[in-house]
Amino acid sequence: MKTPKRYLITAALPYANGLKHIGHLAGAYLPADIYVRYLKAQKRDVVFVCGSDEHGTAIPIQATKEGTTAQAIIDKYHPIIEQNFKDLGITFDIYHRTSDPLHHETASAFFKDLESRGDLETKTSEQYFDEQANTFLADRYIKGTCPNCGHNEAYGDQCEKCGKSLSPEELINPVSTLSGNAPIKKETTHWYLPLNRHEDFLRKWLLEEHAQDWRPAVVGQCKSWIEGGLQPRAVTRDLDWGVKVPVAGGDGKVLYVWFDAPIGYISATKQWAINNDKDWKPYWNDPETKLVHFIGKDNIVFHCIIFPVMLKLHGNILPENVPANEFMNLEGDKMSTSRGWSIEMDDYINKWIKKENGGESLADCLRFYLNSIAPESKDSEFTWKGFQDAVNGELVSIFANYINRTWVLMHKLTKGKVPPIHPDLLDDDDQALLLSVKETKEKVTTLLEQYKFRDAQFEVVNLARLGNQYMQKKEPWILAKNIETDPTAQAKIDNCMHGCLQLSANLAILINPFLPFTAKKMCHLMKVVPKMLEWENAGNFNLLKVGYSLRPPELLFRKIEDEEIATELAQLKANAEAKKTKMETTNNTTAEKGANENANEKGITPLKPEIVFDDFGKIDLRVGTIVEAKKVEKADKLLELLVDLGFEKRTILSGIAMHFYPEDIVGKQVTIVANLAPRKMRGIESKGMILMAEDENGKLYFVSPSEAIAAGSGIS
């Protein structure tokens, strides 16, 4: 494999609306950091960029909710997140932010460039607008008659009957699904990235060239998208928070957050270049640069389809790989900040990385465990017991213990100095040890180049295990007892300890990408400068000079006690319970992005336009009793209900199948919109609608009278 001239490594931009948890860390930042530290040890030319993603609708909405400004929100979280990464040893070369003028300038120029060359499509008069809801309508909020099959319930993006992909303009007799009115066409310009023009390119690049060397899940998801039919994606929005659309007709519009965020990688690189007096251009333009995006699986489409198309159009290089990780669960459930079921980086740092708790070494403990269970090929699971086992059983017992016993023996048996070698007494075991080091270096190097970080780390620990075996076989503590009778005893001890010490130095080099704080501490023990950690030194057995005196032993880690684990588990359950009761007792909650919510688009629903009493009077609300309930076939979310309204029983469909078992809701009294126009779904006609309340996690609740009353009772 030819060594690239330079590397540009990116880690997904964290959304600056809240704290980030260890799942985020394990998914993108830790593997990226390991890779970068390795490359730097190899003395490669590498820049590691990241930064806060600070645009999108969720941030101004959260600001409104908290009675503050969007700027205040991002100013609050940006520095915390940045510091959290530092505390965990994630060392970006630049941690930028998309609210920075340099980014606005860069994203603007990027957009202008694409626009000026006709790479974007504009649709000036083709946009539907709902006057009543006072908003432009996304494709799926418009329905009408399918031009292909004549189905009259087709949506603006696709007809579900014949499966044909559509655009809203193709629909016959379009209707807004928000108000039920026919939408008007409003004079506005929106810009689109026509992904459909690039299908051939994407097929060739992803499905042919990278079918083998990218992770199966990544290629699989891309394939799914391409096969599903690529659509033009809107790149602008009607919003005033973000990067202004820099061309005529762009007033009151900003770049869609997914368009501007990845450009943040470029602006971050520019800022890095300014700070370091370098040229940023080769990093994005020279084909000899290797670009790698580290992300979680929720970001695959943006980084493998949309952004590459943008880069190609803009004349930039394409990513060489996108090693997306799957998700990390926690103690048997999905991680979710809003549900309190997560471990925030900030919390871990405050609890564990305090000086009295072990300081920096506890950052490495977390890095070690997270990497050992990194979800590289499937979802994985963090457990506190697993954390304790990994730290106590491998990091402490195997790795740290090897270093410690080496240091103790060296001070007892060789006066705290690196002993000389006696070549005539070297044997096969000594040779084997050196060979193992060289082999491990090769293995670790190969694995790192293949983004197999958990395996790579395992190999390093295994080398320490070999060290323990070597020492066990040589038994220098026994030799020391025979020093009077065996004239070669001291020489044998010297050879053994020399090997053990050289191995320690090698372990420091090899563990450095994974556990940087530990490597630093080992350098301190060996009284060497960090330069020794350069990768090319691994495999050498003369890193520590004979006669050099080393520091007294110091423990690299402490053990994790059972009580600490019990405390964490209790805390986690308490947090989840607290969040739950909080959600049940307050209706004034903050908008928080759940782990599985799609980036940047969700938030509190804005208040709808004012209506007059007559409008309200048109709605006939009744109390109904559910008498039958069953699942609708071929629909995950729909239940078919038979509801007693007193004067009649009617069929009503409701999208609640994910929340209730049919048998559990029979007999429930619910609120019905009784005079709603019937609507067919999945071939069944629904005559009315059940009112549901939804909390911030999407959990549904029936709206019912507080006591049972007669079916059909009116509500006003």
Chain positions 438 to 497 lying near RNA, rule: CB under 7 A, are 454-455, 465, 468-469, 471-472, 477-478
Q: Where are the alpha helices (DSSP H) in 299-427?
A: 300-301, 307-314, 345-352, 360-372, 384-390, 401-413
Q: Which of residues 147-186 bind RNA (CB under 7 A)?
A: 155, 157-158, 160, 177-178
Q: Which of residues 679-708 bind RNA (CB under 7 A)?
A: 679, 681-682, 686, 689-690
Write the CB contacts of 537 (distance below 8 Å, at least 6 apart in sequence).
505, 506, 509, 543
Longest distance between any two alpha carbons in the chain, whole Å:
109
**Binding residues with RNA: total (CB under 7 A):** 82
Contact at 8 Å (CB) between 670 and 713? no
The CB-of-69 to RNA minimum distance in angstroms stands at 30
| Rounded Cα gap, residues 297 and 322, in angstroms | 10
134 binds RNA per the rule CB under 7 A: no
460 closest CA partner among 477, 475, 440, 483: 440
Among 191, 205, 214, 327, binds RNA (CB under 7 A): 327
Q: What token pair was written down for 592? A: 């928080």
From residue 296 to residue 325, what is the string marking binding to RNA with x (rule CB under 7 A)?
-xx--x------------------------
11 closest CA partner among 79, 89, 94: 94
Strand-pair category, 319-321 with 289-294:
parallel
Among 530, 596, 701, 709, binds RNA (CB under 7 A): 596
The CB-of-503 to RNA minimum distance in angstroms stands at 13
From residue 226 to residue 265, what is the string marking binding to RNA with x (rule CB under 7 A)?
-xx-------------------------------------
Write the CB contacts of 361 (distance below 8 Å, at least 6 apart in sequence).
517, 518, 521, 556, 557, 558
Residue closer to RNA, measured from CB, 318 or 676? 676
The CB-of-197 to RNA minimum distance in angstroms stands at 21
Q: Which of residues 598-657 bind RNA (CB under 7 A)?
A: 598, 633-638, 653-656
The CB-of-139 to RNA minimum distance in angstroms stands at 9
In b/e form, how buried is each residue of 584-612, taking b as 16+ CB within 10 angstroms?
eeeeeeebbbbbebebbebbeeeeeeeee
In b/e form, how buried is each residue of 351-374, taking b as 16+ CB within 10 angstroms?
ebbeeeebebbbbbbbbbbbbbbb
| Rounded Cα gap, residues 62 and 603, in angstroms | 7
The CB-of-129 to RNA minimum distance in angstroms stands at 17
559 binds RNA per the rule CB under 7 A: yes
Which of these ranges, 80-88, 103-111, 215-223, 538-546, lies near RNA under the rule CB under 7 A?
215-223
The CB-of-400 to RNA minimum distance in angstroms stands at 3
Among 237, 543, 557, 665, binds RNA (CB under 7 A): 557
Q: Which of residues 339-358 bind RNA (CB under 7 A)?
A: none
| Rounded Cα gap, residues 15 and 683, in angstroms | 41
Which of these ranges, 102-110, 118-126, 372-380, 534-542, lies near RNA under the rule CB under 7 A?
372-380
368 binds RNA per the rule CB under 7 A: no
Residue closer to RNA, measured from CB, 243 or 461? 461
Which of these ranges, 64-72, 224-232, 263-271, 281-289, lies near RNA under the rule CB under 7 A?
224-232
